[in-house]
Amino acid sequence: MKHFRLILLLVFALGAASACSDKPAAPEVPPEDLLIEAPSLTVKPSDGKLEIPLVLYGLEQTKFLTIEKRNSAGSQSLKYYPRVLRKEYTYKYVMLPTDEETFTFSFTLTGNDGTESNTVTVTVDYSRTEGESKYRVLSISNLRVLSRVTGQEDNGHDGLPSVTRLVNNNTHSKYNVGGTDLGIVWEITPGYFGLFFGDTFGSDFKPNFSAPGPNGGSWRSNVLLFSEDTDLEDGLKISGAACDSRGNARQIIYSAHITNGSGDYTSIPTAAVHVNGMDYVHFFNIRTWDGWVTNYSGMYRSMDLGGSWERVTGITWGGESFFGQVGFCNIGDGYVYMIGTQSGRDSKPKLARVAEADIEKQASYEFWDGASWVKDRENQAVTLIDDIAGELSFQYLPEFEKWVILYFNGPRYEITMRYADKITGPWSDAITVASGRDYPQLYGSFIHPLSKQEGGKLYFIMSMWLPYNTYLMSVDITGYR
């Protein structure tokens, strides 16, 4: 079922503590009636983003605000609760590539007693003026290492990059995450983000300058940290973790840790997405890193905002699948898109999609065969990008009306970017974002969802084998017609 990109917040009632006072009680103020005012009833998006200013009266007696989007295909609605509302409230919406030239949003307040306010309907005019066109070309500049995300802050010596901002997340002492990699980031609810990391080691981890990579105790195949940071220009701040009873970030995706090459060595996350009110993470299970032999790939899900997780029994990709490692993107058109490669860093990306409601039904996945979507026939998926790709992520940037993909390319020893008007391509030539000459032993490039809201900025998490930790990177994007 199609729906626009609104994500329902779960709201928890907070008990109010009483206090004694000698001051006389303030006179009672009659509550405001439920009422909505809108300065303009017609709005036009700017750079792929839409803002609708509203004035909401009677919030103290409001149960929720219903926002309904209506177009020629029908209508969809979700509720926003008082926790995220203000009297002077601006509703923000990111335009989708599938949005029609004209559609409407309607806003209605519902009170705690079931009464409703007036309904305000705002028309969105997305039509183009004569001669207006999309950006034809994108270019990048000003690559920065904004902040270190994981481990103990240690920068600017022996090949370690110098960061713009010292955030001091101290994940080594707070969550027993001293050394780790990846940092697959997705939005769980508006303003609340999850970050999945790969093989993780504890507070005793120390970067080994003669033999870089993992070391130390408390090995977990993967961990999950959380962030509520919506301003990345001063670095990415970690606010929590999915922890065990001792307060340490716990392993989410199971692994038996059989390291002799005969079974289940480790389970590594590759992508995550929020859909149908739940969160999903794709992972691959490794038999041995010698040749990167994969047993299978699968998915886990969480129904409580990342607190607890369970295996999705209906999804298993074989060890040689074209979707052993993937990236996810959900733009609100009713589908979850998936770009995948075989496990490792030596294959070319292919494309699949699945209806949001069917994400747990493997037979419902559709594969792009170069001309159409074919269901349940993975072997007919054609090469999407004629290039070798490692860990990848992709996102739709409404400001430029472009799809953007980042991935590690081993032969060129770099993080590569490409862009396209349509998810099916054609994709642009390769653009070097970060080079191993400047950032030795770099890999992984996971786009932060805030990139689609920040004009001209692409934020991503990048790993480095030395110090076997992760960094928040940013690069400026410019479009040319």
- CA–chain centroid gap for 134, Å, is 25
Cα 369 to Cα 377: distance, rounded to the nearest angstrom: 9
* Structure confidence at residue 136 (pLDDT): 82
pLDDT at position 96 is 81
**230: Cα within 13 Å, side-chain hemisphere:** 7
Per-residue pLDDT at 350: 98
Q: Which two tokens stand for residue 161?
A: 């990059």
Which two structure tokens, joined as six digits, stand for 137? 């070309």
Per-residue pLDDT of the chain (481 residues; tens, 9 = 90+): 444 433 333 333 333 333 333 445 555 556 789 999 998 899 988 777 889 999 999 999 999 999 999 999 899 998 999 988 999 999 999 888 778 889 999 999 999 999 999 999 999 988 766 555 567 889 999 999 999 999 999 999 998 999 999 999 999 999 999 999 999 999 999 999 999 999 999 999 999 999 999 999 999 999 999 999 999 999 999 999 999 999 999 999 999 999 999 999 999 999 999 999 999 999 999 999 999 999 999 999 999 999 999 999 999 999 999 999 999 999 989 999 999 999 999 999 999 999 999 999 999 999 999 999 999 899 999 999 999 999 999 999 988 989 999 999 999 999 999 999 999 999 999 999 999 999 999 999 999 999 987 678 999 999 999 999 999 999 999 988 6
Residues paired with residue 179 on neighbouring β-strands, in sequence order: 201
Sequence-separated (6 or more) residues with CB below 8 Å from residue 17: none
Measure the CA–CA gap between 400 and 331, rounded to whole angstroms. Answer: 15
Query: What angle is formed at CA 256 by the lines to CA 253 and CA 262, rounded to 5 degrees?
Result: 125
Strands (E) in 47-134, as ranges, are 49-57, 62-71, 74-80, 88-94, 102-111, 116-125
Start-to-end CA distance of the chain, whole Å, equals 35
Burial environment of residue 145 by CB neighbours within 10 A (0 to 12, 13 to 18, 19 or more): buried
CA distance 191 to 92: 13
Q: What angle do CA 337, 341, 345 make, to 5 degrees?
A: 140
Structure tokens at 94: 């990111």
- The pTM is what? 0.78
Q: Which domains does the chain have, with CATH numbers?
A: 35-125 (2.60.40.1930), 137-480 (2.115.10.20)
d(CA 404, CA 417): 7
- In what side-by-side order are the strands of the sheet with 192-197? 182-189, 192-197, 223-227, 240-241
Helix (H, G, I), strand (E, B) or coil at 109: strand
